[in-house]
Amino acid sequence: MPRLPALVTALPPGDLAARLGMYLAGCAVFSSGATLFIHSDLGTDPLDVLALGIQRHIPITIGIAQAGIAAVCIAIWSAWNRRRPVIAPFVTFLLCGSLIDLLLLTDLSWIGGTPSLAAAVPLCAYGSALIIMSGIGIRAMDLVAISMTQRWRWPFWAAKGGTEAVLLGFGYVLGGPVGVGTLCFLIFVDGLIQPFMALNRRALRLRNHGLAEAGAQAARVSA
C-alpha cells in the first residue's frame, strides 16, 4: 500500500480539512482575480504576463504554461534550501492556470475594463493570502519569496515583488500583455497580501501555516 503524504498523516482530520478549505478557496479567489486582470485588457499580473507571452510562441494553455514556470521556481527553491523538490506548488500553478482557462471561456463582456481591474486587485491579494496561510501548495514563486524573507530578512511584499519583477521581465520580452494593470498588481496586490494575512489572523483567527512552516524549514537548513 502506498504511503500517505506526510501532511495527511501529521494533521488531525479537522485541521487538514480546514487547511484544504483555505487552500481551495484561495485558488478559486486568486484565479477569479487573475481572470479579471486578463479580461480588463489593461495589463495583467507578472505570472500571466509570462504565461501569455509563452503562449504567443507555443500553442499551450495558460495552465500548462504556469506549470512549466512552477517547475523552474521549485527547482530554484529546492537547490537554494537543499531540499527535495515539492509537488504541491506545481499542482497549485496547474490548478489556478486551468481555472483561469475555464473562466476565460465565460461571457465577461458585461464587465468593463476599469471595473474588472478594480475587482481583480483585492481578489488576487486575498486569494494569495489564503493560499500562503494554508501552508498547502503555496505558489511556487511564493516559496522563493518566503525563503528570501527568512534568509535575507526582507519584508514579504519586497521579496514577492522582486520575484515577480523577474517573471515580468521575461514575459515582456516574450510579448506578454504589460500595462497599468501590471503596475497595479505589483504595487497594490503585493502590498495587500501581508495586511490581509494579518486581518485573517486577528479577525478570523486563522493560523498562518505557510510562514510558520517556512520559518521552521529555514531553521533546520541553517542548523
Q: How far is CA 107 from CA 52, 56, 124, 139, 148, in A?
A: 20, 23, 20, 28, 40
The residues near 93 (Cβ < 8 Å, ≥ 6 apart) are 63, 66, 67, 69, 70, 139, 140
| Amino acid at the residue 29 | V
Q: What is the largest CA-CA distance in the chain?
A: 55
DSSP string, 53-80: HHHHHS---HHHHHHHHHHHHHHHHHHH
pTM beyond 0.85, yes or no: no
Question: pLDDT 10s digit of each residue in the chain, 223 long?
Answer: 333 344 433 445 557 888 899 999 999 999 999 999 999 999 998 989 999 999 999 999 999 999 999 999 999 988 988 888 888 888 888 899 999 999 999 999 899 999 999 999 999 999 999 998 888 877 788 788 888 888 888 887 788 888 988 999 999 999 999 999 999 988 898 789 889 999 999 998 888 887 655 444 444 444 4
Q: How far apart are CA 138 and CA 91, in angstroms?
A: 9
Of 108, 82, 96, the C-alpha closest to 45 is 96
Q: How far apart are CA 120 and CA 33, in angstroms?
A: 4
